[in-house]
Amino acid sequence: MSEIDVTAESAPRDFAALRALIVTRAQTLPRRLTQVASYAVENPDEIAFGTAASVASRAGVQPSTLVRFSQALGYQGFSDLQEVFRSRLRERVPSYDERLRQLREHGHHASEAGVLIDGFADAATRSIADFRDKADPERIDRAAAILAAAETVYLLGLRRSFPITAYMSYALGKLGIRNLLVDGIAGLGSEQTSFISSRDALLAVSFTPYASETVTLANAARGRQAKIISITDSIFSPIAPIADVWLEIVEANFEGFRPMAATMALAMTLSVAIAAKRNEVR
């Protein structure tokens, strides 16, 4: 019997179903297979284009582990699994990134600023569209309810996530919601969260590669019985399993840079929803 009870007949043949299966079974996989699963979810194009040797090297495992992972999901082997990732590319409408690449290859010229504007605007548009399609209103409602019930909302987002929590601190303050922005200035993150208790809630925001201090402080808050809401990009994120509710956001990228458009839309949604729920109980 494989590590996951999936037969060859029931193994998903489309990428969305495969990704859903991986996310559902993430917590039951052995450590090495979890490592492969995390890499596969975060780097689907690499799985589609790579060889077993190259994918294994980048995922930090042996090629035999890819075979074990594939068979655990019900596939005959890695090439059988890889075909699902390739079908995703065949069905996908060419992205603007690909169109820009094609334009450059064909010798068409455009201003550098124009290319960047189009590229980043397109990435932001795709991120927002994906957020609208995949957002779970019930999960967002649960998250808002937990945050609305908190005595103090602690907002934790460092490095590239800081603009999100900084905005939420501003918005919640304007809406009359008591909050504390954990900015980690002068290395005082642990001191800023030292008074968190079971009466409070922590909103933690972090994306790959996850800020180690965010993970540490979120775990410490969990240890003090605070409620945890996580905004992150994968079930394999270290701040997903510790959360009472975790919300998934995957931003599109342009030339390796990811806009924060969808994450900011979620932050605005949560801020207003928290205030609305506070008003309901007054």
pLDDT at 137: 93
pLDDT at 109: 52
Residues of the chain with CATH 3.40.50.10490: 137-280
pLDDT tens digit string along 67-82? 999 988 888 888 888 8
The class level of CATH for 137-280 reads alpha beta
Which DSSP symbol is given to 106? T
pLDDT at 199: 97
d(CA 204, CA 145): 16
Q: At what angle do helices 261-280 and 137-149 cross, to 10 degrees?
A: 60
d(CA 159, CA 177): 24
| Burial state string for 57-69 with b = 16 or more CB within 10 A and e = fewer than 16 | eebebebebbbbb
Rg of the chain over all Cα atoms, to the nearest angstrom: 21
pLDDT at 8: 47
Look at the domain 15-91 and name its fold.
Arc Repressor Mutant, subunit A (1.10.10)
> What pTM value is reported for the model?
0.69
pLDDT at 89: 63
Strands of the chain (E only): list them. Answer: 153-157, 179-182, 201-205, 227-232, 245-248
pLDDT tens digit string along 160-202? 999 999 999 999 999 999 999 999 888 899 999 999 999 999 9
pLDDT at 107: 45
pLDDT at 58: 87
Q: Which residues of the chain have pLDDT under 50?
A: 1-8, 93, 103, 106-108
pLDDT tens digit string along 43-74? 887 888 788 888 888 889 998 999 999 988 88
